[in-house]
Amino acid sequence: SRNEDWLKDRWQAAKDMSGAPIPGAHWVEIDLGRRCSVTRVVIDWEKAHATRYTVKGRSAGEAAHAETTTLAVGEKAKVEKFTSSKRQHVVHDLEVVRTREIQPAVEYVRVEIDRPATQWGSSIWELRVYGSCEAQPHRGLGEAQPHS
């Protein structure tokens, strides 16, 4: 069928190629591979974007449902819209929320989407995370440890 394996170039919370949204909240999470102090997050959405979302971070070893640190909220994004190679983009540029305390280092960054901003499901072309990271990747629970 023409619609088999239709989603190869982006993450999307939609039922099919028509873009019909999947009901409810959704999230996508990336593993940074090491502990990082995140300063900025850029989300390159398709036209099917969201404005009601939160960017959160968590440490390794914490379960996916563990308590997270809020890094940014969608309503505060600087927004740019453009079209390239027949693709529509809605780019959200977010500065990480600063608190009085030291910003914790995180290994996972998650975009938690409350609901889409359009009649379609949410769709992300690219998610970029900026900041500074530890020189060596943090050893996770499933990785081999050297013996001394």
The per-residue pLDDT for range 41-94, each reduced to its tens digit, is 999 999 889 989 999 998 876 566 666 788 888 888 888 888 887 788 999 999
Render pLDDT for 85-144 as a digit per residue (tens, 0 to 9): 778 899 999 998 766 666 678 999 999 999 888 888 899 999 999 999 988 655 544 343
Q: How is 88-120 classified by DSSP, letter by letter? A: EEEEEEEEPPP-SSPPPPEEEEEEEEEEESSSS
Q: How many CB atoms lie within 10 A of CB 38?
A: 23
111 contacts 43 by C-beta, under 8 angstroms? yes
Its pTM surpasses 0.85: no
C-alpha separations of 28 from 50, 111, 124 in Å: 13, 5, 9
